[in-house]
Structure 1
């Protein structure tokens, strides 16, 4: 009887022991990481706070004046169909907004997955796939959850169909470009090259999001929320990748 009781107790304590061991490993990992990991954790917290704050203001109806003011300010006073700036700027905005479209982003992800598969970096391949697929799912789910209509303040300069909040182009551009930028940075030997790649990823995300407001298809708060949500997801995926590399579960892309 006593042996049976001991066996049951051992089984009950096994999940607790596993959680305890995982916590110890995670604590050791954090202690050994450089400042980049701490900055990433801080970035997650700040971006998450920003998203929550924007959402609260949106639900309380406090952001409408700012959204309308900026959208109207990007159009000529007596010609709401015409955006400010030279004619080439409108074409550039349409080209830039395509960089955040699902078709192009899917193609980039598939090319990255193919490369990682050829290099036999299967762990990294699955992480990129999960980051991209998870980001797409979160974007769609949040759009349906909030159900915010598209701006009707100014005419749309490109066709749109889905709900407005958060901006899917902004969110997915942040996720994909930052994930791929971080992946490429792992191969770079020089620090300035790493900084350049991550800065380029941030710049692309900024340009895509800004183009959505310029074209009148998103409120500015849609784009800000999309950037925040995309940054949170991208940084979480990066932190998970670093932790799994530390555990040896996922290959370090910078090593052969």
Structure 2
């Protein structure tokens, strides 16, 4: 059955995308409101103490987590973005290169706006493996690694024909996003709800820009 004979077939993808984005935005805003009201504090404190105890029991864990968290650092993500944008501009689509750059810059700006809006303090340094500056919700490392890895992973996967290859690329992108978030929790530099909020907003932002890219590049 072709698309012309089935007008509803062309609607399912945007409907699913819209539902996913709406669900992630809802999760982010719901978490944000509960964070402001202090409803998540008990849960966050339990995970924070558990992470500290886990680092004490496994002395090599902290070093591994520091290495993983560096994948979501501003320096690494900026370098990755510059390399990707330059490659697309030189050998691919200049429009797509511009979209990737705008997605990352606007995402970073919004994260900073949300941090100021929610104004949540980070966990006490006594529970953290290292010192981290700035406000806490949402986690910047988590959010921007989701935007970067998911967006770039999906763009790379779209160039491959083999379904298994596309699945593997997307799986790696998702795994990297999860690992960066878990590392922030394990190091005690973020509350767990900061990371969940970062995953929700970052994945929604990535999907929105991927849809923009699909529409924009087709022109």
Q: What's 2:203 paired with? A: 231
Equivalences for residues 164-183 of structure 1 within 5 A? 164-183=136-155
What is the TM-score when the length of structure 2 is the normalising length?
A: 0.91
The 8 Å contact of residues 122 and 189 in structure 2, kept in 1 or not, is answered as yes
Matched, 1:188 2:163: no
The 8 Å contact of residues 71 and 153 in structure 1, kept in 2 or not, is answered as no
What is the TM-score when the length of structure 1 is the normalising length?
A: 0.78
Equivalences for residues 48-63 of structure 1 within 5 A? 48-63=25-40
Q: Which of 205, 216, 219 is the aligned partner of 1:244?
A: 216
Deviation at 1:32, TM superposition (A): 6.0
Matched, 1:137 2:109: yes
- With CA pairs under 8 Å and 6+ residues apart, which has the higher RCO, 1 or 2? 2
The 8 Å contact of residues 69 and 183 in structure 2, kept in 1 or not, is answered as yes
Q: What's 1:75 paired with? A: 52
Which consecutive residues of structure 1, in runs of 5 or more, have no partner in the other structure? 1-29, 77-81, 249-256
Q: What's 2:88 paired with? A: 116
Deviation at 1:154, TM superposition (A): 4.2
| Structure-2 change in CA distance of 1:244 and 1:33 (3 Å) | farther
The 8 Å contact of residues 167 and 218 in structure 1, kept in 2 or not, is answered as yes
Distance in 1, Cα, partners of 2:86 & 2:32: 37
Deviation at 1:232, TM superposition (A): 1.3
Deviation at 1:65, TM superposition (A): 0.2
Q: How many residues align?
A: 213
Equivalences for residues 90-129 of structure 1 within 5 A? 90-129=62-101
Distance in 2, Cα, partners of 1:154 & 1:206: 25
Distance in 2, Cα, partners of 1:54 & 1:181: 27
Which string of whole-angstrom CA distances, capped at 9 and with x for unpartnered residues, describes residues 47-96 of structure 1?
Answer: 111111111211221100000011101223xxxxx715522221110000
Distance in 2, Cα, partners of 1:44 & 1:234: 9
The 8 Å contact of residues 177 and 202 in structure 1, kept in 2 or not, is answered as yes
Q: Which of 112, 115, 135 is the aligned partner of 1:163?
A: 135
- RMSD over aligned Cα, in angstroms? 1.9
Deviation at 1:152, TM superposition (A): 1.5
1:195 counterpart SS class: helix
1:157 counterpart SS class: coil
- Higher alpha-carbon Rg: 1
1:87 counterpart SS class: coil
